[in-house]
Chain A
Amino acid sequence: MASPERSGTERFVEKERSVFVGLMLGLLVLVPDVVAVALANSVMLLSDLLKSGSETIATFLSYLAIRRVRQGKTFDYNYGQGKLENISSLAVAGAMLISWLIITFSAIERFRHPSPIGQIGLALFVTGVSAVINVLVWRKNRRLAQAEPSPIIESQWRLYRAKTAANICVLVSLIVSSVFREQSWSAYVDPAGAILVSGFLLLSAYRVITDSVYDLLDRTLDESLQLVILSELATWFHEYVALHGIRSRRSGSNVYIEIFMEFDGDQRMSEVQALIDRMKASLEEKIQNSQVVIAPATGPVT
């Protein structure tokens, strides 16, 4: 039977592998994408290409970060390198925002100067293949994120969901533009679809940025986890004399909790330590990836 530490490592290797597969697939699709854009004269496809390019760079950064985080604690980083995950997520969000700007600008230009799209056969094929790949990577990363909270995997599944939505918009817009080529309004379908894609991107970027920035600023844990901590304190209520403070924060996948308590002065240090060990083990069992420190204190700690 695998030890908890071993399973943690295995989970991390799986996260790293998942990001690497996403990176390779992203690179694979980029080349035919360039040819398709050249043939189709579609602002939407151009935007999709730029978006895919910036996302692939961001995924590469995520891959580097996750490799670094897997190395764990060192003498230089006593708390591990979990925040690197948050920073990498911000890089992904930055790529999303740049893509949004490019798409919006290109779409506005195309609205001002409408022109028909060219050959879309290759574009349809490449986009269709991309859509299938993106759905698979999206679902895999979503499963990983549900199994264990991680900013990188969280941002990755949102990224691939946005990419899938973008692929569907591209496919629909290309088909409509092509089928109704003779209609004057069909020239506006392409930029309208591009604007729609940019909406998905903006929403995803907002979510990733808010989550990562709050964690980088050491926001306390979510309310649901705070209630778990208090529930534990209620369980051990008669074992301590006073509660002087609770601090909590998240760093990457890790959760850090500090509880400051006063114990009966007549107790021996060994008894207090044994009690602390039991409380710590009990709370760490209830909150995944948590590291709990229970510090004896005699006054308020804020």
Chain B
Amino acid sequence: MQCVENRHESVIVVGLQGRMDSSTARIVEEKMISLIDRGESHLVVDCAQLDYISSAGLRVFLMAAKRLTQARGKLVLATMNDDVKQVFDMTGFSSIFKICGSKEEAINSYRQES
């Protein structure tokens, strides 16, 4: 599992690559916590190269979303493949996250708000 961070003005884009399961979700969790702890509140997770997500991965997104809400921030997800999107739809996670079709659309969603 690879987790790459890029800044686009005030928005941090975290690109995920590989499988997010019980053995790799910790890597993403630590990355998200470190970003939130250093005060980043506009996060985009680019799922274009995320092949698979398990319940452990969903749990990380849920915890991060809650922490960001407390910090008056937001987590936007982008470019999910059909398998990952299906897991989000099945568990009702699609209704609690903003999911964009592209990374640019997700970044722009913050610009439109400000």
Contacts and interface: CB of A to CB of B under 8 A. Distances in A.
Interface of A: 223, 226-227, 229-231, 233-235, 237, 240-244, 246
Main secondary structure on A side of the interface with B: helix
B1 interface: no
B112 interface: no
Contacts of B56: 226
B91 interface: yes
A234 B90 contact: no
Contacts of B90: 227, 231
- Minimum-distance CB pairs A-B, first 7: A226-B55, A234-B92, A231-B91, A242-B66, A237-B96, A230-B58, A230-B91
A234 B70 contact: no
Interface residues of B, number: 18
15 contacts: A223-B54, A226-B54, A226-B55, A227-B58, A227-B91, A229-B55, A230-B58, A230-B62, A230-B91, A231-B91, A237-B62, A241-B66, A241-B69, A242-B70, A246-B59
Contacts of A240: 66
Contact of B63 (A227, A229, A242): A242
Interface in B40-79: 54-56, 58-59, 62-63, 66-67, 69-70
Nearest to B64: A243
Contacts of B110: none
A223 B20 CA distance: 13
